[in-house]
Amino acid sequence: MAFVDQAQVELKAGKGGDGIVSFRHEKFVAMGGPFGGDGGHGGSIILKVDEGLRTLMDFRYNRHFKAQSGGKGGTKGMTGASAEDRVIKVPQGTIITDVDTGEVLGDLVHEGQTLLVARGGRGGRGNIHFATPANPAPELSENGEPGQVRNIKLELRVLADVGLVGFPSAGKSTLLSVVSNAKPKIAAYHFTTIDPNIGMVRLKDDRDFVMADLPGLIEGASEGVGLGFQFLRHVERTRVILHLVDMSGIEGQDPYTQYRKILTELEQYDPTILERPQIVVGTKMDMPDSEENYQEFVKQVKEDSGLKVEPEIMAISAITHDGVDKLLRATADMLDKAPVPAAYKVEEETEGEAKLYKYEEKKVNLSVDWDAELDCWMISGPEVEKLAAMTNLQREATVMRFARQMRHMGVDDKLREAGAKDGDDVRINNTNFVFEYSD
């Protein structure tokens, strides 16, 4: 199965049910009055973390999700049935972003954590709500509110306690296969790992942690070179970094040069990554020239004045298992003291905080433009479009009410300023509602 760590989907919450016009017709009840009930609420769309999922594969081919609409209101003031919310499961570590606004809606990292991403529309009011002394028998009702429509981007950042980083063929996959039951692809060529691999590591003292083998980074990864740019985001989730450096020299590159190049890429992507606890691991110590290269490497790192923190350095051979147990114990000890990255934290509301409520004049977002193709004036804006969608055009009373509401919003003034003349057709954007302008 291919690893999928990004997906874009369209969500459409359910429309609210329509309110109805009805009157009380019962024997011995004079002047029964309006008795039309409200519509039910439309279903919302909720994302929920399922720890059984590891990728966003479910969203690769299914990119449209829709919730059910609410039921219509009933007679005798009965409210229509509300639709059930639609729950969509996502893996741990999923970040949700609104594509249109760029706003980060949530970061789901805990099992069972939920996020409401598209809110269902409220039910329209029945005529029971519109009775007044001046109009005791109103033939007014509302259609249900449209459900929220959203385009969102899902981005998976692998949740792991320990992340393995380093150049291709540094021995990351081999180490993961030795210390866990993970079965990453291992071969004698670069980029054998093109998807993150995750394994559970358990020590003899019953401590355990999750280790992720992240695809090999190369110079320029932070600018999109190679595979590293796609998976650098996963490093952000790790609490401890094991930076693996090949000490054999068989690739023809100096170990210290490779080490500094990876540090540069991490720093360019996110400087805070280098503040994480880190162990530099010299690998392939079973090779002939490894010991000599390792001693020189340690000397160069200790003499490097450009490092913010002098890292702990250890040497292993995943093939002979030399130094592996010592490395795992040191990693577990470091994890015990490592802080939780900001990405894991969920902000909690603080109780008792004072809130200031004040009057602010509501501004209506409204635009009027001439549409030459349709030969009419086009009115657009979220408020007026929502109002049009909730207007029952089958009844004259509700149409007249809609006209008064538009006048209050300033539609008449906008049309007059734009140069509309008597008899011009006017259309509400995203609806079939057309009327004739009269000054």
Annotated binding residue 318: yes
- β partners of residue 427: 378, 434
Q: Is 138 annotated as a binding residue?
A: no
> Does residue 134 have a known ligand-binding role?
no
Q: Is 311 annotated as a binding residue?
A: no
> Exposed (0-12), middle (13-18) or buried (19+): which is 365, by Cβ within 10 Å?
exposed
Place of tokens 């459900």: 147
The reply to whether 209 sits in an annotated binding site is no
Q: Which residues pair with 204 in a beta bridge?
A: none
286 assigned binding-site residue: yes
The DSSP annotation for 5-38 comes to -EEEEEEEPPPPPPP---B---TT-TT--B-PPP
CA nearest 9: which of 87, 96, 86, 80? 96
| Distance (Å, whole) CA 387 – CA 344 | 41
Strands in 224-345 per DSSP E = 240-246, 278-283, 312-315
Was 288 annotated as part of a binding site?
no
Is 170 flagged in the annotation as binding? Answer: yes
Does 173 carry a binding-site annotation?
A: yes
Alpha carbon distance 409, 390 (integer Å): 16
Q: Find out whether 141 is annotated in a ligand binding site.
A: no
Q: Contact, 164 vs 172, CB < 8 A?
A: yes
Is 195 known to sit in a ligand binding site?
Answer: yes
Q: Is 172 annotated as a binding residue?
A: yes
Is 44 assigned a ligand-binding role in the annotation? no
415 labelled binding-site residue: no
Q: Is 229 annotated as a binding residue?
A: no
Q: Is 192 known to sit in a ligand binding site?
A: yes
Angle at 149 between CA 111 and CA 383, to 5 degrees: 130
Token look-up 């109009």 returns: 135
* C-beta contacts of 335-341 below 8 A and 24+ residues apart: 335/161, 335/162, 335/209, 335/239, 335/240, 337/277, 338/239, 338/240, 338/276, 338/277, 339/239, 340/239, 341/236, 341/237, 341/238, 341/239, 341/276
CB 427 within 8 A of CB 436: no
Q: How far apart are the first and last CA of the chain?
A: 65
Can you tell me whether residue 414 is helix, strand or coil?
helix
* Beta-strand pair 6-12/64-66: parallel
Query: Known binder of ligand: residue 166?
Result: yes
Q: Is 169 annotated as a binding residue?
A: yes
> Which residue ranges make up the annotated binding site for GTP?
166-173, 191-195, 213-216, 283-286, 317-319
> Which residue ranges make up the annotated binding site?
166-173, 191-195, 213-216, 283-286, 317-319
> Which residue ranges make up the annotated binding site for Mg(2+)?
173, 193
